[in-house]
Amino acid sequence: MSTIVLLIVTGLGLGALYFLVAAGLSLIWGLMRVLNFAHGAFFTVAAYTGFFAAAALAGTSPWVGWFASLVAGTFVGAVFATLTEIALIRPLYRRPVGQVLVTVGLALATLALVEGAFGADPRQVTVPPWMAATTSMLGAAIPNTRFVVIVLAALVLFGLLFFLRRTRYGLIVRAGVENRDMVSALGIDVQRAFTLVFAIGGAAAGLAGVLAATYYGTIDPGRGTAMLISAFIVVVIGGLGSIAGSALAAVLVGLLQQFLNFYAAAGVGDFAVVLLLAVVLLVRPGGLLGGKSA
Amino acid sequence: MNAGAEVLLRVENLRVSIGESQILGGVSFGVRQGGITGLLGRNGVGKTTTLRGILGLLPRTGTVTLAGESLTALPVHEIVRRGVGYVPEDRDVFAGLTIEENLRLTERAGSEHRYPLVYELFPELRDRAAQLAGTLSGGQQQMLSLARALLNASNRILLIDEPTKGLSPVVVKRVAEALQRAAEVTTILLVEQNLAVARHLVRDVVVLDQGLVTFAGDIAELIDDPALARRHLGLSAAGH
Ligand SMILES: Nc1ncnc2c1ncn2[C@@H]1O[C@H](COP(=O)(O)OP(=O)(O)OP(=O)(O)O)[C@@H](O)[C@H]1O
Ligand SMILES: [Mg+2]
C-alpha cells in the first residue's frame, strides 16, 4: 500500500513537471503551428538562473533563496521565450521549416553554452530543510518536494484555464488555435497573442526548470532535452493545442512511467509511454482532448 | 464604372498567384459608396481569391485603396480596422466558442450600438447565446458570421462571400433581408451565385472570368440580356 501511494505521488510530481513544459509547447503549436524545440532551453537556462539566484542569497533563510530562484527562473524563462519569438520566430512567419531549424539551433547552442560555462556534471541544489524532509501519508514517507511541485503545477493549470476561458486574450488565443486567419480578419492583431503565448509558455517552462531542480535535488545541462521529449509525447497524447489535454496526458504518462519502471523493470515504463503514444495516434489521432484549447 | 456616387473601394491590377499558378491576372474595379455591388462569375474564376486578396489574406500585388487611403502595405488586421469587414464563404465561425464568445471577440468601440440591429435580424443568436458555434446549423452559422461583421460600427465596406450558399429558401430570404438592412448602414461587395437574390439586391456588378474583369456595369444590363449573361456567366436563362 505504502509503495503504491509513493508511486502515485511521485508519478503525479513527474506529471506536474511534464505538464509545465507541455502547456507552453501545446499552446504555441496550437496557435502558431510552431514546433518549439527551444522549449527545453528555456527550462535549462531558468534552472541555472534559479541555482545562481539561490546561491547569491546563500546567507539568508533557505526559503528566501528558494523563493528567489523560483521567481528568477520563471521570469528569465518568460524573457528568453519572448526574445526568441521576436528575434527568431517572427522573421520566419509562415516558414515552418525555417522555424523548426532555428529553434533546434537555439536548443543546441544553449546546451553547448551552458555546458561550456558550467560543466556537464550535475550540481547539487539546496532546498529548505522542510522540503528535504518527508511527510507520512497512508504509511508512505513522501518527500515534501513532491507536494510542492504538484500544488504549483495545479495552480498554473487553473491559472491557464482562467486565462483561456475568462480573459480577452484567452478568447483570442482559443479562437486563434481554431483559425488564426479569421482572427486577423476580425481586426485583431494575432501577432501580439503569439508573443504573449510564448511568454506564458516560457514562464511555465522556466518554473518547471526550477521545480525540477527542487524535485531531483540537482541540475544538469541535459535534463531540459529529456523533459522536452517527454513533454512532446504528452502534448501529442493530450491533443495539440489543448491545455486540459496536456494536464490529463501528463498525469497519465507520469503514473505509467513510475508504476511500470517499478513493477516491471526500469525502462519498461518509458517504453510503455511510447507505446501509449502510438496507440493514441492510431485510435485518436487528434489526441485525447484534441481540438479544444481550454 | 458607373458615374455618380464616389468610389469607396478601388482595386487596381490585383494579381494573386498560388504556387506556380496565377489565379488573378490583374483585376481592377471600383465599388461605389453605398448599396450593394455584386461580384459575379462562374465557379473557380477567382471571386473568393479577389476578396481574400483585398484583405491581404493571400500574398498579392497591385493596389487596394479605401476612400483614397492605400491599404496595400498594411497587415490584415489593420486593413480590417480601417473599415473592411469580411464574411467568408465557409462562414468560419469559431466552432469551439459559444455564440456569445464569437460575438464578443469581434466587439470594438461602437459595437453596443449594433447589437439591437443584429438581434433584430437574428433573434436566435440571443436565444442561443451559450450554444457552441460548431453545433449550429449552416444557416445559423451564416447568421453568426454576418452578425460578426455587422457588429463593427466602424466598418465602411463588407466583403461578403456567397452568404446564401447551401441554405433553404426560407433562410435565403432572411439572409437577403439582412443584407438589404445592412446595406442601409454600410457599403457591401457581395459574391452571390443565386442570381434571383443578386438581381434583387445588387445595383452595380463586376464579372470575373479566368482571373480578369470581363464586365462592369449595371446588373439589369447584364442579366436581362441573355446573350451578355450567357457570355459572362455561362447561363442560358438568367434573371427570372
Ligand atoms: N490554395 C489554393 N491552391 C491552389 N489553387 C487554388 C487555391 N485557392 C484557390 N485556388 C484556385 O484558384 C481558382 C479561383 O478560386 P476561387 O476560390 O477564388 O474561385 P471562386 O470564384 O470563389 O469559386 P466558387 O464560385 O466556386 O467559390 C480556382 O481554380 C481554385 O482552384
Ligand atoms: Mg468562392
Please state the domain extents for chain A.
Answer: 22-222
Find out whether A15 and A251 touch, Cβ atoms under 8 Å: yes
The confidence score (pLDDT) of residue B2 equals 47
pLDDT band at B151 (very low <50, low <70, confident <90, very high): very high
Name residues of chain A where pLDDT drops below 50. Answer: none
Is A187 in Cβ contact with B152 (below 8 Å)? Answer: yes
Residue A184 DSSP symbol: H
Give me B191's grid cell: 459574391
The confidence score (pLDDT) of residue A253 equals 96
Give me A33's grid cell: 503551428
**Closest residue CA from atom 17 of ligand 1:** B48
Give the separation between CA A214 and CA A88, rounded to whole angstroms.
31
Rounded average pLDDT over B207-212: 91
Per the listing, cell 446549423 goes with B137
B53/chain A closest Cα distance in angstroms: 12
Find out whether B71 and B64 touch, Cβ atoms under 8 Å: yes
**Phi-psi label, residue A222: left if phi above 0, alpha if psi -120 to 50, beta otherwise:** alpha
Give me B111's grid cell: 459595437
Of the candidates A171, A178, A185, the beta carbon closest to that of B86 is on A185
Question: From the CB of B194, is ligand 1 less than 6 Å away?
Answer: no
CB contacts, 8 Å: B75 with chain A: 184, 189, 191
Q: What is the mean pLDDT of chain B?
A: 92
Nearest chain A residue (CA) to B52: A185
Rounded average pLDDT over B175-193: 96
The confidence score (pLDDT) of residue B1 equals 46
Give the separation between CA A115 and CA A250, rounded to whole angstroms.
28
The confidence score (pLDDT) of residue B238 equals 43
The confidence score (pLDDT) of residue B237 equals 44
Of the candidates A186, A188, A292, the beta carbon closest to that of B96 is on A292
Q: Which ligand is nearest to the CA of B210?
A: 1
Question: From the CB of B147, is ligand 1 less than 6 Å away?
Answer: no
CB contacts, 8 Å: A239 with chain B: none
Nearest chain B residue (CA) to A192: B77
Per the listing, cell 460578426 goes with B148
- Which among B15, B23, B57, B86 is the best mutation to test ligand 1's pocket, defined by most ligand atoms within 8 Å of the CB? B23
Residue B240 has pLDDT above 80, yes or no: no
CB contacts, 8 Å: B76 with chain A: 181, 184-185
The confidence score (pLDDT) of residue B235 equals 61
Give me A275's grid cell: 507505446
List all residues of chain A from 105 to 124 with a beta carbon under 8 Å from chain B. Answer: none
Rounded average pLDDT over B196-206: 94
Where do the structural domains in chain B lie, given as residue ranges? Answer: 7-239
Residue B63 pairs in a beta bridge with: B12
How many A-B residue pairs are in contact by the CB < 8 A criterion? 58
Give the separation between CA A37 and CA A232, rounded to whole angstroms.
9
The confidence score (pLDDT) of residue A51 equals 97
B156 touches chain A (CB under 8 A): no
Residue B234 has pLDDT above 80, yes or no: no
CB atoms under 10 Å from CB of A109, counted, come to: 12
Residue B186 has pLDDT above 50, yes or no: yes
The confidence score (pLDDT) of residue B85 equals 96
Residue A87 DSSP symbol: I
Of the candidates A171, A291, A292, the beta carbon closest to that of B105 is on A171
Question: From the CB of B4, is ligand 1 less than 6 Å away?
Answer: no
Q: How far from each other are the two terminal CA atoms of chain B, in whole angstroms?
A: 25
Question: From the CB of B43, is ligand 1 less than 6 Å away?
Answer: yes
Distance B206 CA to ligand 2 centre (A): 15
Give me B155's grid cell: 466598418
Instruction: Determine which of B18, B76, B82, B145 to mutate to test the interface with A (most A C-beta atoms within 10 Å).
Output: B76
Architecture of domain B7-239: 3-Layer(aba) Sandwich (3.40)
User: Which of B113, B105, B60 shows the shortest CA–CA distance to A183?
Assistant: B105
Give the separation between CA A92 and CA A190, rounded to whole angstroms.
15
What residues contact A291, with CB distance under 8 A and at least 6 apart?
A239, A241, A242, B96
What residues contact B208, with CB distance under 8 A and at least 6 apart?
B27, B39, B40, B41, B45, B46, B47, B50, B214
- Reported as type and span, the H/E element at residue B111 is none
Residue B80 has pLDDT above 90, yes or no: yes
Read off the pLDDT of residues B153-173 as tens digits, 9 standing for 90 and up: 889 999 999 999 999 999 999
Question: From the CB of B187, is ligand 1 less than 6 Å away?
Answer: no
Question: From the CB of B146, is ligand 1 less than 6 Å away?
Answer: no
Sign of torsion over alpha carbons A8, A9, A10, A14? positive
Find out whether A99 and A89 touch, Cβ atoms under 8 Å: yes
Find out whether B102 and B51 touch, Cβ atoms under 8 Å: no
Distance B24 CA to ligand 1 centre (A): 10
* pLDDT cut 70: percent of chain B above it: 96
Burial of residue A98 (CB within 10 Å: 0-12, 13-18, 19+) is: middle
